[in-house]
Each structure stands twice: as structure tokens, then as C-alpha cells.
Amino acid sequence: MTTATASHDEHHHGPEKGLMRWVKTTNHKDIGTLYLWFAFAMLLIGGALAMGIRMELLQPGLQLMDPHFFNQLTTMHGLIMVFGAIMPAFVGLGNWLIPMMVGAPDMALPRMNNWSFWILPFAGGILLSTFFMEGGAPAFGWTFYAPLSTTFAPDSTDFFIFAVHLLGFSSIMGAINIIATVLNMRAPKMKLMDMPLFVWTWLITSFLLIGAMPVLAGAVTMMLTDRNFGTAFFDATGGGDPVMFQHIFWFFGHPEVYIMILPAFGVVSHIIPTFARKPLFGYSSMVYATASIAFLSYIVWAHHMFLTGMPVAGELYFMYATMLIAVPTGVKVFNWISTMWRGSMTFETPMLWAVSFVFLFTIGGFSGLMLGIAPADIQYHDTYFVVAHFHYVLVTGALWSIIAATFYWLPKWTGKMYNEGLAKVHFWWAVISVNVLFFPQHFLGLAGMPRRIPDYSLQFADFNMISSIGGFAFGASFILFTYIVIDCIRNGKPATARPWEGAKGLEWTLAPKAQYHSFNTPPSRELIKSESQHS
Amino acid sequence: MNEKEYYIPDGTYWPIIGSIGISILLIGFANQMHGVSWGSSAMVLGFAITVFMLFGWLGQVVNESVNGQYNQQVDRSFRWGMSWFIFSEVMFFAAFFGALFYARMLSVPWLGGADNNIFTPDLWNGFSATWQQVAFTTPGTTLQSGTAISIPTKLVEATGLPALNTILLLLSGVTLTLAHHALRSDNRNQVIGWLVATITLGVAFLGFQVMEYGHAYADGLKLTSGIYGSTFYMLTGFHGFHVTLGVIMLTVILFRVQKGHFSANNHFAFEGVAWYWHFVDVVWLGLFVFVYWV
Ligand code: HEM
Ligand SMILES: [Cu+2]
């Protein structure tokens, strides 16, 4: 018999013994755990590359490496962080949390769930192996513009291309699974508008993934044939156009950045109400804002291309469309703040990360608005201002929410509490150092320092040194983070089923360490109502 | 299986086998392109492992389904899964259609001197902006990759084989729907008849497509014929690949019908494949209009 059904005893479908459990598993919690550890490993590798970048930029002049290797570092850093760390971490959170939040036993397509994960180590391995190939790793930036990535790239690029294919395949399967889970495994008594926001944001993110990742696959496929089979998609001598590559890439790329931030919005929308001890302000407007951000994200891509010589009508259209995204984003920030307004707030670690998310992400949103002004972008484009912008939205946005989620749900994952005192030290260490790291990059960019260059002229020296020192401190903060998490798993004090006083959500009705299959019988309407975010 | 129970499969080795297979396939492919001797053997090995995985995995699913281990909820999950998978395929083709439209409407006219006056004919002397024959025509010019450009001597036409193929595919959509109706009224012999007709039409389509490629190739239209050749072969090639997959899937379904796997109201696999086939059909219509016709 290859199935286990809910009527069996619990021990029938508890975890298998031994290492093979992790290879064979079809359990959403196991797979979530695998995703999270994989993402964490990639975060450390990507972080190590970033340390190399900041070391080279500590002082003007070429100190440690030749420019070509520097370019490999920036390229691989970006690719690993986006495709290896942030995206898998969110899929891991989704795996762990969505079945619990919708009152289901597991994901809808558990075997495919296993495959979504088990493609990743192979794709990551292929990607990392390019470092050891002749000609080195890809060095054309994480955006791999043609012709840098076609005519002028090393052989290892073909391996990079296949790694992207595999990563995309994994993401698409993961997204399909989440859609099927939310739409089909949800407790029968849970209406769509009862769903917690993390579920909503992931559902919408899944549509972004399914719409955008195949386009990326198409882009790298065209790269592949341009490189190896004599096609001329991105080659003007054959009537193609390198700028076309940018259009296709950013048609994927802009939805991609929202793929990395919408689930973060979801996480924060859970944590803030808990520690403000108030229902989420404007639940339905949050849902609609998420949906409109997702829609708009498909029609603003060329704000990354203001300097490619687009027709003026194009510049204007993409500028105004981009500005429009600020409206639903503003709705969200407004709702988070209104949730806190007159709440009985306490500041446990998850809340610290969530509140600083709101603050720091908003800084990133504002710099995004500045970049979205086409005439101003002529000055900012390809400078450190852009680097500062996307690190505020991605590090203090996406990554922040992942860390916040880790602390918030760690008790439910492990049945144990982490060390609150140490976690607070870690928070302040990280939040200060990350600003020392990225805030000066705004000034560098406004003063004209170009991105992706290992050397710089002398007037940029001070801010670069400050930024590098902040970078090393921020990097080191992850040692403490690792310690806190492992310490919690090993020696943490037992947690209660609902460790946070104000927390709502079906996941908190489960055992302190959630049982292997979350809900064997669907929760009742009363339970769903009393655990909903907007009672 | 009881409708009130959730279906949860036990652990499985198929995914990891699939990952190993596909990785070997792709690593082999990359090495083969770089002229490494073991590249193609690795491709064959990886492909074999992948096919083994597909048969094993899907075979297990078929067994479970036939043994009645699934319920309505599983059926719905499969439906959601298949429909969004097809949507992702739509977006994959959209990337290539996007490239086609962009080149046709924007970049080629610009290179020919339209609109922005940057690429004046002086600067791009010898560039032919005629659709289907776009590229540098000055003798001796190569693509940036160093490949020689092959300018076709004759243009591709929509009449003839492409038009015939359109009719074949549209007909196959009809025969497949008739098969579905027969299945719903539990008439197995009719189902088999219509399915065989559908498969035959699909195979005929593929045969004519190969002939059409032969003509185009003889006229000098190659992957290296600039942007038209690139989009032509990329779009029709991926489409042909999907038709091939579709024919294989239909054949599997045919065998399953013969074994009596489906009932009048329980036949997701049949419907899933049918959706896929209609999707391939619709893509062809787009191809016929935009690649061959206008
Ligand atoms: C209010 C919302 C936002 C606006 C108006 C905005 C606008 C922009 C613009 C105009 C650029 C191009 C700058 C240039 O290259 O000259 C840019 C770059 C970027 N943005 Fe945003 N952005 C917003 C939010 C976000 C979010 C939420 C993320 C990710 C979570 C993000 C990630 C990025 C990244 C990664 C880049 C750099 C891409 C590259 O060239 O490498 N942005 N943004
Ligand atoms: Cu963007």
C-alpha cells in the first residue's frame, strides 16, 4: 500500500528513520525544512562572495583581485541570493506554513513537492561549479545582458543557462503546488476572504511565478541558441537586437522582484497584528493591494531601461505606470501603521524585525520612486544609488521578513523557544550594521559612483570604507544568528502551543511542535472564525 | 477511497532519480556543445534515466488511480496542476512570440532606418530590412558569433503544407473531442477509433512539418538566417516538439483506454492530455498566422 490515510494511527505516517527520509519525503514540513536549510546555506555562500566584494571596495585601487574576478563575484552573488537564498526561503516558509494556515494535512501534490526541492541542489551545484571552469564563472551581472552573455561570455555560461532552466522548473512546480493547495486543500469551511495574508500573498506570488519564470526560460533558451546554434535573437547583424534581451529579461525581472517581496508583505501582516494585539487594519484592502501590485508588476518592466533609447512615449508610459505601484504599496504601509496605532505593543524579536521592515522597506520604496522618474534616472542609473535601492527592498525587505518569520514560527517548528536576549542583541547588531552598509551607498550613487566596478576615484573612498566596515559587521551577525537557531533547536526551553499572546491563526491551534501532518480533519467554521485575522 | 479522507502518498525515490537524470542530460548537452567527447553519451544516459523516471513515476500514479486510492479531491488537485502547467507553457511560447513581434514591428524597421534615424542606411549599409530576409547581405558578413549568414532565396508561404497542416491539426481537435464524447457515453470502441484518428492526424502533421523543413532548408532558410530564421525554427521547432509529446501522451492514453482504465465520469488523464492537445493546436494557429502568413 503506497498511501497513508488520515484514518490511520499517527505513527503510521510519522517520519521515516534515517537519512533517506529527507530524500524520499513527501511531507510539507520536511520539505519546508529542506528548503530553509538550503536557502540558508546559499545565503552564507552568497554572503561570502559579498564579503569579497566589500573587501575589494574597502579602499580605492585594485587590492585583492583582478576586475574579471570581481565581476564574477558580483554576478554570482546576485544570482545566488535571488535564486538560491530568497526564493527558496520563501518557498520553504510557504511549505511549512500554508497547509497549517489553511487547515490541510499537507500540500496538494506531495510528490511533486519533493521534486521542486530536489532539483535545487543540482541546479545550485551546476551554478557554483562554473567558478571552477575555464574562463571562470559568469561575469556579466545577474541580469546577464546580451551581448555580454552571448558573444563575449565564457563557456561556463551554458552551464549557467541550464542551471536557470532547472531553477525555473523548480519554481514553477512549487507555484503550481501552492495554487492547488490553497484552492483545493483549504478547509471546506474557510472562505477565500478568511485566508490569512501569508496565504493570500503566496497565492498571488504563485501566479507571478507561473507567468514570469517561463519567460526567463525562453530568454535563456534564446541565449543558448545564439551562443551555440547561430541564431540572431540578440544580434543586430542578423536583424535581432540586444535591447530585446533586456525587454524579455525585465518582463520576467520586474515581476521577479515582487515575487521576492509579496510573501514578505504576508509575513509582516501576521507579525504586526500579533504584537500590537489588534486585528490587521484593512484586511481586504491588503488583499486587493497585493493583487493590484501583482498586476502592475507585469506592465512596468522598462523602468529598468530608461537609458536604452526607448521612444519618448515609452519612457513616459513606463514612468507613470511605475509611479502607480506606489499607490497600493502605500496602502500596505498605511495599514501596517494603522494596525499598530493605539495597539498594546510589545517588542519581542519578531516584532522588532517586522517594525524595522516597515521602516527600512519604505526607504527602499522611496528610492524606487526616485529611480522611477525617467529624467532623474539618467543620473542614477547604474550607480550605487540603484544598489542601495534594491538592497533596502531585498535585504531589509525580503530577507528581513524571512528572519522575522524564522523567529516568529520557530517555536511552532521546533516546539522550543529561542533565547530572547541573544536574539535582541542579534537584531540590533544586524539593523545597525545593515544601515552602515547600505545607507552610504545612496550618497555614493548620487555622487556618481558606478556599480559593478572594482576600483573608484578618490572622492568615494570614505563612504566606501564605512560601507565595507558595515558589511563585515553585518556578515558577522549571521554567525550569531546561526548560533541562536541551533541553540534553540538543541537546548531551547519547551514552547507552548501559542507562544505569542496576541497570535491568531490555525497554526497556533496545533501542538507546540506541530504534528507531522497538520490537520487530519478539517477545522470547524467556529475555529476558523475565531482564528481569522479580521474578526 | 473514502471522500472524507485525505490522500497522502508515502516517500518516493522518483523525484531524485529525475533530478539526477535531467542533470546528467543537461551537463552532457553542455559538454557536447563544447566538443567534449563524452558529452553525447552522457546525454543518452541522462535521457534514459529521465524516461525511466517518467515511466516509473507516472506508472505508479496510474496504478494508484486504477486501484481506487484517489478521491475527488486528488482529481481536482491534478486538474489545477495540469491547467497551470499549461499556462506556464503558454508563457514560454509567449517569450518567443514576443521576440517575433518585437523584431518584426520594432527592431528590424529601426535597423532599416525607420523612426529614430540612428541606424541610417548609411551606417548599416548592406542591411536588408525585408522580413524573412533580414540580415547583413554584404557578402562575407558573419553573425557576431562568427557564423556565416544564410539568406533564403525563396520566402516561406502559408499556402501549401502549412495550410494543410492547419487543417490537419484543427481536424485532430475535432476527432479528440469526439473521442471525449464517446468516452462520456462509455462507448469504448468509438473512443479507440477517434483516438487512433487523432494520433494519425498528429503523426501526419509531424511528417508534413519535416517535409516543410526540408523545403525551407533547401531554400536556404536556416537557424543562421538572421532573426526570421531564428524565430521560425525556434517557434515551429518547440511547437513540433510539443506535438511529439502530445502524440506520445495520446498513445499512452489509447493503451489505457484499451485496458479499461477510464470510466464515463472518471478520466482525468484523458482530459489532461486533451487540454494539452488543444493548447498545442492553439499555438499552431498563432504560428500559422504570424510566422507563415502575415
Ligand atoms: C515602490 C516600488 C518600487 C519602485 C518604484 C522601483 C523602481 C525601480 C527602478 C526605476 C529601478 C531601476 C533603476 C535603474 O537601474 O536605474 C529599480 C531597480 C531595482 N529594483 Fe526597484 N522599485 C520598487 C520596488 C522594488 C522592490 C519591492 C524590489 C525587490 C524586492 C525591487 C528590486 C529592484 C532591483 C533588484 C533593482 C535593480 C536591478 C538591477 O539593475 O540589477 N524594487 N527599481
Ligand atoms: Cu522593476
Q: B263 in helix, strand or coil?
A: strand
- CB < 8 Å to B94, chain A: 214-215, 218
Give the C-alpha separation, B42 to B24, whole Å.
Answer: 6
pLDDT of residue B116: 62
Of B12, B19, B80, the CB nearest to A180: B80
- CB < 8 Å to A211, chain B: 87, 91
Ligand 1 pocket test: which of A145, A254, A303, A332 has the largest number of ligand atoms within 8 Å of its C-beta?
Answer: A303
Q: Mind giving me the DSSP string for A429-491?
A: HHHHHHHHHHHHHHHHHHTTPBSS-S---GGGHHHHHHHHHHHHHHHHHHHHHHHHHHHHHHH
Residues, CB-to-ion distance under 5 Å, ligand 2? A 254
Q: Which of A250, A220, A219, A257 is nearest to A87 (CA)?
A: A257
Q: Mind telling me the catalytic residues of A?
A: 77, 106, 142, 170-171, 254, 256, 258, 269, 303-304, 329, 332, 451
One digit per residue, pLDDT tens: chain B, 294 residues?
455 678 888 889 999 999 999 999 999 999 999 999 999 999 999 999 999 999 999 999 999 999 888 988 999 999 999 999 999 999 999 999 999 999 999 888 888 877 765 656 666 777 878 888 877 777 778 888 888 888 888 888 888 999 999 999 999 999 999 999 999 999 999 999 999 999 999 999 999 999 999 999 999 999 999 999 999 999 999 999 999 999 999 999 999 999 999 999 889 999 999 999 999 999 999 999 999 998
- CB < 8 Å to B145, chain A: 150-151, 226-227, 230, 235
Place of cell 517581496: A261
Give the model confidence (pLDDT) of A69-108 as tens digits: 999 999 999 999 999 999 999 999 999 999 999 999 999 9
- CB < 8 Å to B84, chain A: 175-176, 179-180, 210
Whether chain A has a CB inside 8 Å of the CB on B143: the answer is: yes
Beta-bridge partners for B266: B263
DSSP code of residue A14: S
Task: Give residue A140 CA to ligand 1 midpoint distance, Å.
Answer: 19
Distance from CA of B256 to the nearest CA of A (A): 21
Of A151, A238, A247, the CB nearest to B227: A238
* Ligand index nearest the alpha carbon of residue A396: 1
Bond preceding residue A263 cis, omega within 30 of 0: no
Q: Are A210 and B91 in contact (CB under 8 A)?
A: yes
Task: Give residue A248 CA to ligand 1 midpoint distance, Å.
Answer: 16
- CB < 8 Å to A134, chain B: none
Place of cell 525511466: B52
Q: Whose CA is nearest to atom 1 of ligand 1?
A: A365
Measured CA angle at A330 (ends A325, A333), to 5 deg: 135
Phi-psi region of A448 (alpha: psi -120 to 50; beta: other; left: phi over 0): left
Ligand 1 pocket, A352 CB below 6 A? no
Whether chain A has a CB inside 8 Å of the CB on B279: the answer is: no
Q: Whose CA is nearest to atom 42 of ligand 1?
A: A390
Q: At what angle do helices A283-297 and A242-259 cross, to 10 degrees?
A: 170
Ligand 1 pocket, A31 CB below 6 A? no
One digit per residue, pLDDT tens: chain A, 535 residues?
334 444 343 445 578 888 899 999 999 999 999 999 999 999 999 999 999 999 999 999 999 999 999 999 999 999 999 999 999 999 999 999 999 999 999 999 999 999 999 999 999 999 999 999 999 999 999 999 999 999 999 999 999 999 999 999 999 999 999 999 999 999 999 999 999 999 999 999 999 999 999 999 999 999 999 999 999 999 988 889 999 999 999 999 999 999 999 999 999 999 999 999 999 999 999 999 999 999 999 999 999 999 998 889 999 999 999 999 999 999 999 999 999 999 999 999 999 999 999 999 999 999 999 999 999 999 999 999 999 999 999 999 999 999 999 999 999 999 999 999 999 999 999 999 999 999 999 999 999 999 999 999 999 999 999 999 999 999 999 999 999 999 999 999 999 999 999 899 999 999 999 998 889 889 999 999 999 977 5
C-alpha cell of residue A153: 561570455
Ligand 1 pocket test: which of A333, A389, A400, A401 has the largest number of ligand atoms within 8 Å of its C-beta?
Answer: A389
Amino acid symbol at A302: A
End-to-end CA distance of chain A: 43
Q: Whose CA is nearest to atom 3 of ligand 1?
A: A368
Give the C-alpha separation, A386 to A474, whole Å.
Answer: 20
Neighbours of B200 (CB within 10 A): 14
Ligand 1 pocket, A368 CB below 6 A? yes
Task: Give residue A307 CA to ligand 2 midpoint distance, Å.
Answer: 14
Give the model confidence (pLDDT) of A20-59 as tens digits: 999 999 999 999 999 999 999 999 999 999 999 999 999 9
- How many interchain CB pairs under 8 A, A with B? 261
Distance from CA of A236 to the nearest CA of B (A): 8
Asked if the Cβ–Cβ distance from B29 to A162 is below 8 Å, we say yes
Task: Give residue B185 CA to ligand 1 midpoint distance, Å.
Answer: 56
Whether chain A has a CB inside 8 Å of the CB on B88: the answer is: yes
C-alpha cell of residue A37: 536549510
Of A122, A179, A233, the CB nearest to B99: A233
pLDDT of residue B2: 56
Q: Are A281 and A255 in contact (CB under 8 A)?
A: no
Ligand 1 pocket, A374 CB below 6 A? no
Give the C-alpha separation, A251 to A297, whole Å.
Answer: 9
Asked if the Cβ–Cβ distance from B94 to A126 is below 8 Å, we say no
Asked if the Cβ–Cβ distance from B88 to A176 is below 8 Å, we say yes
Ligand 1 pocket, A143 CB below 6 A? yes
Neighbours of A530 (CB within 10 A): 12
Whether chain A has a CB inside 8 Å of the CB on B214: the answer is: no
- Using CB atoms within 10 A of its CB, is residue B134 exposed (0-12), middle (13-18) or buried (19+)? buried
List the alpha helices (DSSP H) in chain B. 14-33, 39-66, 72-102, 108-111, 161-184, 188-218, 226-258, 268-287
